[in-house]
């Protein structure tokens, strides 16, 4: 069943890019503007009452595989380099009846996706209105009980992204291909770190979103990180995870187009009590030329929705 899951934002949210790290005493955490797919998948699973046992902890990421198979009602191949029907596709940020994709902390209207891609291909700067999300930072620490001083290595900054966009509230939207979900409100779910929550609603896809999902084209903008594994130079077409990518054009930043790769964590497994692995990734907002027109997501773990693609006609 193809539905939409909408996370209604009711407070600033925190989505860590990877493991917290830094200097010995003071550490800093980088955050995403939208949820990692593992976070969104876990929230959907919790809302639908999926419970996993410790038997999924025998190998890396078996918990994600088991959760995806329970939600989708089918087998998944986590290491496939592309997927035509990912479990989750997105995210997009919805404000009113308008949709945006993220480039760093900025929002770009999906109506401008053609200009975004053509500008990136020319290596120029994108003109026009970009909306920037507000980054909110606070300090956290742990004290030694007896001395009442900061415990070494546990002073840190925690960052959140606010969604003070009008009309209120903004929503984080995914198209989902789930076996047992039905339209309706599921209440409030935990989403991201620091105990943050959001409203969750399943609904039929609006016509605009159907159009975006059915769009075809050899170029696409990535909505979520494209995961890959490279031990040396990255080579589109052969690097594991990039077999279906013909060219990496790059992402637009204020100075122009930029080729960028990052390290992305696959989240924390609550059932196994450990962090999942780190992988290399092309960040959201990267423009790709595809070698296969039928795929809706590319990269490792694309069956879950990592590497979701917003297709563009050129």
Identify the pLDDT of residue 31.
79
| pLDDT greater than 60 at residue 153 | no
User: What pLDDT does residue 192 have?
Assistant: 81
Res 22: pLDDT: 44
Higher-confidence position of 223 and 313: 223
What are the helix (H) ranges across the chain? Answer: 37-47, 62-72, 113-122, 207-214
Sort strands 171-177 and 2-9 into parallel, antiparallel or unpaired. Answer: antiparallel
Select the more confidently predicted residue: 252 or 141: 252
In this prediction, what percent of the chain has a pLDDT beyond 70?
89
What is the average pLDDT across 30-41?
Answer: 86
pLDDT beyond 90 at 88? yes
Section 17-23 average pLDDT: 52
11, 154, 174, 249 from 305: Cα distances, Å: 25, 34, 9, 21
Please state, in angstroms and rounded to a whole number, the distance separating the CA atoms of residues 234 and 314.
Answer: 26
At 140, the pLDDT band (50, 70, 90 cuts) reads low
What percent of the chain shows pLDDT beyond 90?
52
User: How far is residue 283's CA from residue 200's CA, in Å, rounded to a whole number?
Assistant: 25
Whether the predicted model's global pTM rises above the 0.85 cut: yes
State the chain's mean pLDDT as an integer: 86
Alpha carbon separation from 57 to 2, 4, 46, 54, 276 (Å, rounded): 30, 30, 18, 6, 11
In this model, does residue 287 exceed pLDDT 80? yes
pLDDT tens, residue by residue, 189-223: 888 877 888 999 999 999 999 999 999 999 999 99
**Number of alpha carbons in the 13 Å side-chain half-sphere of residue 88:** 30
**Token pair of 308 as six digits:** 């979701």
Model confidence over 162-197: pLDDT tens digits? 887 777 788 999 999 888 878 887 889 888 877 888
Please state at what angle helix 37-47 crosses helix 62-72, rounded to 10 degrees: 50
Q: What is the DSSP letter of 13?
A: B
Domain segments of the chain as ranges: 2-312
């Amino acid at each position: 069943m193809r539905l939409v899951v909408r996370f209604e934002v009711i407070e600033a949210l925190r989505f860590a890019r990877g493991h917290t790290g830094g200097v010995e005493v003071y550490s800093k955490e980088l955050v995403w503007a939208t949820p990692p797919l593992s976070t969104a998948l876990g929230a959907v699973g919790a809302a639908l009452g999926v419970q996993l046992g410790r038997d999924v902890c025998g190998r890396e990421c078996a918990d994600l595989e088991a959760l995806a198979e329970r939600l989708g009602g089918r087998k998944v191949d986590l290491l496939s380099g592309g997927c035509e029907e990912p479990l989750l596709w997105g995210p997009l940020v919805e404000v009113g009846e308008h949709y945006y994709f993220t480039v760093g902390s900025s929002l770009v209207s999906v109506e401008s996706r053609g200009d975004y891609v053509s500008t990136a291909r020319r290596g120029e700067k994108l003109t026009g209105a970009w909306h920037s999300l507000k980054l909110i930072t606070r300090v956290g620490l742990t004290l030694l009980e007896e001395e009442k001083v900061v415990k070494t290595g546990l002073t840190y900054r925690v960052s959140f992204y606010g969604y003070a966009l009008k009309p209120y509230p903004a929503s984080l939207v995914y198209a989902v291909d789930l076996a047992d979900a039905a339209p309706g409100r599921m209440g409030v779910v935990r989403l991201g770190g620091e105990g943050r929550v959001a409203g969750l609603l399943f609904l039929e896809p609006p016509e605009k979103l159907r159009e975006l999902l059915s769009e075809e084209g050899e170029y696409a903008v990535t909505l979520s990180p494209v995961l890959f594994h490279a031990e040396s130079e990255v080579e589109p077409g052969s690097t594991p995870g990039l077999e279906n990518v013909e060219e990496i054009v790059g992402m637009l930043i204020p100075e122009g187009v930029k080729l960028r790769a990052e390290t992305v964590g696959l989240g924390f497994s609550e059932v196994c009590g450990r962090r999942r692995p780190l992988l290399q990734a092309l960040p959201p907002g990267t423009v790709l030329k595809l070698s296969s027109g039928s795929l809706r997501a590319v990269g490792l773990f694309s069956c879950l929705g990592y590497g979701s693609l917003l297709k563009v006609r050129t």
